[in-house]
Chain A
């Protein structure tokens, strides 16, 4: 019970201190909106292409929403030493880091549903496989958040976290099949696409929208789950090695 109280209050504090602040709420709405508009302007097509665009826009919204926030909630607090207060609390490091990332996961999920909400005005989302889409969005949010955590605990300064994030984010969005189908990438870049969690998340969302996909849903779920586990484990290892000196 004590652990649950600590977990809930860390999450609540982060929600109030960071995620529910007006600039972040407006950013969480405007960012997916801007990406959605950009895709349409670029493609020059109309609302009939919503279904094709939706997986990519939702995935990018999650990726940017989650990874950007961790630089603040973790790196900034570490720099300001308030993170020490959490490390001094009698709660396990696993639970502590999960509490610190839970807010970003929820923020990522909320970001993902902005493009869906916009799409609902233009296309019929009833045939959409929600049973697959919801866990796909959640798993994508978890893996992106843990990627953000991995970055946040590998650096010392907030600006380093942002720069390091872009080192992963931009190759990811260009190689995961959002802009160009993976099959159309040069042969030497194609294997790289499979190294990114975003590829599997987008693939799952394509399954959910009954669009052509590359892998089976089971493989996508499995690989995304593996990414989540590995990124979280690496992050904890980094915290133990770098922060508890």
Chain B
């Protein structure tokens, strides 16, 4: 790995009696997209807050380009662009004014910041909305403008906290494309997300975090390596399967069975799975197979194995509930 631009050493943070981060350590290399993957409350935002100066660690060290900045974050802030999980630009200002103001906070003079703001508005497809108030933007537009605002002063390091959560598919796709482009231009990206497929698509290295602890940090290829050559299926059944797992394992010893939420189960084998005998066995047990889906070896499987958290449940945690839905 090339020299780290960000280095976190044993970062620990408590809020009252709650341990939000427990000796978190990792490095981010120059020019990479580093994914920070974990469920709600895992410590992703706390980590970003510590790394950007919005919070102070109780213990541990933060280094940017080899220089310690713990407790002196103002020294590092010029290097950083930060996109929070909620758009926090000024609703009463227009898109262009918001970008201009953000540039001014970093000491940019009037003409360069106007030129840069127009360039970013063009790049982010917001040229037509430059003169509109931020309060009138859609969620996707707000998120794009927030990313543009973070890039105003051309920071070499960009922090993004859940950049595509709660926005439409097209906007999310566009944002992912822009991030890949920023990265090609040399921007180091620290991305927190709970969308496993997003991390898989964008990131070179990924850290899994749960309950304030880093469970594993590795290159994407290394994480996927154990899944190579594996055959996986997901069955949707007419009822829960937990009480029959033992019998299934005895009947098909070469296959690993795992019960999933929502009357589903997962099958994993080193050889191709013959589905017929399994379907018949289950029917004899009074369980109907409603659907069988072949799973491609993905980061999701690795995540479930390492964290013990179901990816689907994690996705649902952050998705906006439909109108009229109950809490």
Alpha-carbon distance between A1 and B49 when the two chains are bound, in angstroms: 28
Question: What residues on B are CB-neighbors of A89 within 8 Å?
Answer: 77, 105-106
Q: Which residues of A contact B118 (CB under 8 A)?
A: none
Instruction: From B91, B102, B107, give the contact of A2 (CB < 8 A).
Output: B107
In the complex, are the beta carbons of B89 and A85 less than 8 A apart? yes
CB distance from B209 to the nearest CB of A (A): 19
Residues B107 and A6 in contact, CB atoms below 8 Å apart: yes
| In contact, B55 and A5 (Cβ under 8 angstroms) | no
Q: Which of B79-87, B177-185, B236-244 contacts A (4 or more CB under 8 A)?
A: B79-87
- Give the bracket for the number of chain B residues in contact with chain A: 20 to 34
Q: From A82, A84, A90, give the contact of B78 (CB < 8 A).
A: A90
Write out the residue numbers on chain A whose beta carbons fall within 8 Å of the beta carbon of B104.
5-6, 8-10
Q: How many residues of A contact B (CB 8 A)?
A: 24
In the bound complex, residues from chain A placing their C-beta under 8 Å from that of B88 are 80-82, 84-85
Instruction: Kindly state whether residue B250 has any CB partner on chain A within 8 Å.
Output: no
Measured between C-beta atoms, what is the minimum distance from B158 to chain A in Å?
Answer: 12
Residue-wise, chain A 72-102 has the 8 Å CB interface mask toward B (1 for contact) of 0000000011101111111110000000000
Min distance, Cβ A237 to any Cβ of chain B, angstroms: 14
A60 and B72 CA atoms in complex are apart in Å by: 41
Among B56, B74, B89, B106, contact of A6 (Cβ-Cβ < 8 Å): B106
Given A89-B77, A244-B56: A17 and B90 within 8 A (CB)?
Answer: yes
Q: In the complex, A8→B107 CA distance in Å?
A: 10
Q: How far is the CB of B13 from chain A (nearest CB, A)?
A: 9
Interface assignment of A41: CB less than 8 Å from any CB of chain B:
no
Query: Does A183 lie at the interface of the complex (its beta carbon under 8 Å from any beta carbon of B)?
Result: no
B15 engages A85 (CB within 8 Å): no
B97-110 interface bits toward A, Cβ cutoff 8 Å, 1 = contact, 0 = none: 00001101111110
Q: How far is the CA of A193 from the CA of B278 in the complex (A)?
A: 87
Q: Of B104, B109, B149, which is in contact with the most chain A CB atoms at under 10 Å from its CB?
A: B104
* A245 close to B (CB within 8 Å): yes
* Residue of A with least CB distance to B159: A88
Chain B residue at minimum C-beta to C-beta distance from A6: B105
Closest chain A residue to B86, Cβ basis: A81
Do B54 and A244 have beta carbons less than 8 Å apart? yes
B312 within 8 A of partner (CB): no
B53 touches A87 (CB 8 A): yes
Tell me if A13 is interfacial: C-beta within 8 Å of chain B: yes
- Cβ of B1 to closest chain A Cβ, rounded Å: 27
- B77 partner residues in chain A, CB cutoff 8 A: 88-90
User: Could you tell me if A85 and B102 are in contact, using CB atoms closer than 8 angstroms?
Assistant: yes
Interface residue? B52 (CB, 8 A): yes
B223 in the interface (beta carbon within 8 A)? no
Chain B residues contacting A80 (CB-CB under 8 Å) are 88, 91
Let me know if B84 and A90 touch, CB within 8 A: no
Distance between A82 CB and nearest chain B CB, rounded to angstroms? 5
Neighbour of A244 across the interface among B53, B78, B89, B91, CB < 8 A? B53
Q: How far is the CA of A10 from the CA of B101 in the complex (A)?
A: 8
Interface, chain A (partner B; CB < 8 A): 1-3, 5-6, 8-10, 13, 17, 80-82, 84-92, 244-245
Q: Show 13 A/B contacts (Cβ-Cβ < 8 Å), sorted by A.
A: A6-B105, A6-B106, A9-B105, A81-B86, A84-B54, A84-B88, A85-B149, A88-B77, A90-B106, A91-B74, A91-B105, A244-B54, A245-B54
